[in-house]
Structure 1
Amino acid sequence: MKQRLAGIVVSLAVVGTVAVGCAPSAVAPDPPLADQFGHVHGLAGGPASGQWFVATHNGLYLVDEDGETTGPIGDHAFDVMGFTPSGQTLFASGHPGPDTPSEWGSPNLGIIRSDDRGESWEPVALSGIEDFHVLTAGPDNVLYGIGSSSPVLLTGTDGGTTWTEGINLPAADLAVGHDGRLYAATEAGLQVSANAGATFTVVDGAPLLYLLEALPEGGLVGVDTAGTLWRMSPEARWEKVVTAEGMVQALGADQDGTILIVDDRGIVRIDGTQTSVVRPIR
């Protein structure tokens, strides 16, 4: 869903190597993660339990809990820089791929939307103009985004058709809690707004985070600059969950409360303090 703030982290490129050996089946294995995805910008719950959307440099994919990968969905191999579900609708932004329809916009896609789980997309706003590196939706379906051209917080209340400019907010990531509070990961620390982004205050005692995700039962998870995953309870208490291996590219959570990250191991599922690799990097 999101992109890093340059002042907090450096951009990440994952290098994969192809394993060589005898395959007992005629079914070809999935290519290495980096070869297939390029890199990962976002993660979100998929259309069914145990499925997750993976927003990548090479399109939108589905990965299930067994690591089976489908995509790019609809054969749309565009660079999904920003991505967020909002109810049954998917919103995305980024850059066109080699076969992207010209009406989507170029060099930036603005906001595009899908009502059929990514099989087809239509341009909605700012086509050719804006590339949202940060994009999220609240439980009330209000969209919040920050484009690559400006740190201005943009808000959309009509399905992304029109956007209202707000304050300057150089944030690496945004997340909306189940209570509607808008959180922003900034170089000055975690900040929160109780008035739809009109004003923000610093969250005292929070770690310095660059990735955020709201949890369905309340609270947040976030990744700090050392690669530690933190959980904030609905009562605003912080606890360390796990430490990633290498830089974390993306963070997501589904409606079941399952947390996913992409780090040097690949796509990693987190249950409590236990981790399991859903899709290895090689």
Structure 2
Amino acid sequence: MNNKTRTITHNRFSKLVWIILLTLLIAGICFYFLSKKDSDVSFEDIHGIGYTKNGNEILIPAHDGIKEFSAGEWKDGPGEKNDYMGFAMVNDGFYSSGHPAAGSSKPNPLGIIRSSDKGKSVNTLGLEGESDFHLFAAGFNNHALYAYTPQPNSKMDSAGLYYSLDGAKSWKKSKMTGVDDEPTGFAVHPDKNSVVSVSTKDTVLISNDFGKTFKVLYSKPQITALSFTFNNSLLVGGFEVKATLSEINLKNESTKQIKVPPMSEDAIAFIAQNPSRSQEYAFATYKKDVYKGTEHDWKQIVKSGNSTTGK
């Protein structure tokens, strides 16, 4: 075999090797995308949690839009991937605040927004381009809105707590008498629009007069989460050596402890009760773990920001 023949044979062999490698690479990429499930959802951060009215879906707002858990699997929600803050579920959708997705035509910040289709479409209710509410809450059935602003805007003439009973068209200021420390969280009674609770770093307070006056309801070295139930009680996440979850009966102010899974140097950041199954809860932690279930049967559905199945 002469040198010219050897060169041609070598070139043909090299091309064949590259074709085989390219084919394997393409096949691997195709296999990855074909095998990748819709439930492979990741959470850069978690800004809230809530159940839909039927109790069959859990929605979590994140830096890149709504994440939905349904039938044991996670998927990205519809619509723009807005950075939702101050997320509040209601019986026919959610209210929120935050910042628009990259490339969105919406003003930044979003002001107060409303969606009735899991974020597929978003309606602006006011204060767009002005305010971003991190402390914001809504009554699940009554849609009473409460917002805490650290600075004035066009509808709130000074810092403090405000409430609206007409879908954010008008706002009234609450005096917050009795609250002597910086608020860290708010929750609104699902049915009684005058009942609002506020947490500080170590205290839970409640008001029955639209936030005009508050009284101390519960104290703990560290309060981490706050949410009303649908049976006239308050869920309070806390931390004292380990994570805790307490339920306060608002009728007699008695407190009971709810068992939670073991957590290593972590605590509940957001919690919600299932509207259809009162014994079921869902909560997210500061380390981006998410659990759902009852105190006797918890299932982890997010671990360190990565989704898992939870059937």
Contact 1:178 1:217 in 2 (8 A): no
Q: Which structure 2 residue ranges, 5 or more long, are not aligned?
A: 1-30, 153-158, 307-311
Find out whether 1:172 has 2:184 as its counterpart: yes
Partner of 1:231: 247
Counterpart amino acid of 2:116? Answer: D
Cα contact 1:133–1:148 (8 A) shared by 2: no
Identity across matched positions, percent = 21
Relative to the length of structure 1, the TM-score reads 0.79
Match of 2:149 in 1: 147
**Distance between the aligned counterparts of 2:102 and 2:129, measured in 1?**
15
Residue 26 of structure 1 aligns to a residue whose secondary structure is helix
- CA spacing shift, 1:222–1:241, aligned 2, 3 Å: same
Bigger mean CA offset, 124-133 vs 93-102: 93-102
Give me the whole-angstrom Cα distance separating, in 2, the residues matched to 1:54 and 1:97.
16
- The worse-fitting range, judged by mean Cα deviation, of 109-118 and 122-131 is 109-118
Q: Is the 8 A contact 1:62 1:73 kept in 2?
A: no
2:233 paired with 1:219: yes
SS of equivalent residue, structure 1 residue 63: strand
Count of residue pairs the alignment pairs up: 253
Indicate how the Cα distance of structure 1 residues 25 and 93 shifts in structure 2: closer, same or farther if over 3 A, else same. Answer: closer
The answer to whether the 8 Å contact 2:187/2:198 transfers is yes
CA contact (8 A) 2:271 2:284 kept: yes
Give yes or no for the alignment of 1:38 onto 2:38.
no
**Residues 1:209 and 2:228 are matched in the alignment:** no
RCO greater where, 1 or 2, for CA within 8 Å and sep 6 or more? 1
- Equivalent runs, 1:88-167 vs 2, <5 Å: 88-102=92-106, 105-106=107-108, 108-138=109-139, 139-147=141-149, 149=151, 152-167=160-175
What's the CA shift string for 1:107-153, capped at 9, x where partnerless? x2110111333210021111111111122112422111123547511
Deviation at 1:174? 1.2
Q: CA deviation at 1:271?
A: 0.3
User: Of residues 67, 72, 76 in structure 1, which corresponds to 2:77?
Assistant: 72
Maintained 8 Å contact 1:172/1:184: yes
1:13 maps to none
TM-score (ref. length: structure 2): 0.72
- Equivalent position of 1:260 in the other structure: 282
Secondary structure of the corresponding residue to residue 249 of structure 1: strand
Cα distance between partner residues in 2 of 1:265 and 1:94: 19
Where 1:225 maps in the other structure, the secondary structure is strand
Choose between structure 1 and 2: higher helix proportion: 2
DSSP-derived class of the 1:40 partner:
coil
Q: Which amino acid aligns with 1:156?
A: S
- Asked which structure has the greater CA Rg, the reply is 2
Contact 1:93 1:111 in 2 (8 A): yes
Q: Is the 8 A contact 1:265 1:277 kept in 2?
A: no
**Cα distance change, pair 55–248 in 1 and its aligned pair in 2 (3 A):** same
Measured against aligned partners, the alpha-carbon deviations of 1:149-187 in whole angstroms (never above 9, x if no partner) come to 475111111112222222366321111235622111113
- Taking the aligned partners of 2:230 and 2:104, their CA distance within structure 1 comes to 34
* Closer, same or farther: CA 238–217 of 1 in aligned 2, 3 Å: same
Letter in 2 for 1:69: W
Query: CA deviation digits over 1:241-260, x for unaligned, max 9?
Result: 13452133322222033211
* Distance of 1:98 and 1:219 partners within structure 2: 40
| 1:208 Cα deviation after fit | 4.5
- Partners of 1:137 and 1:248 in 2: how far apart? 20
Return the structure number with greater strand share.
1
C-alpha RMSD of matched pairs (Å): 2.6
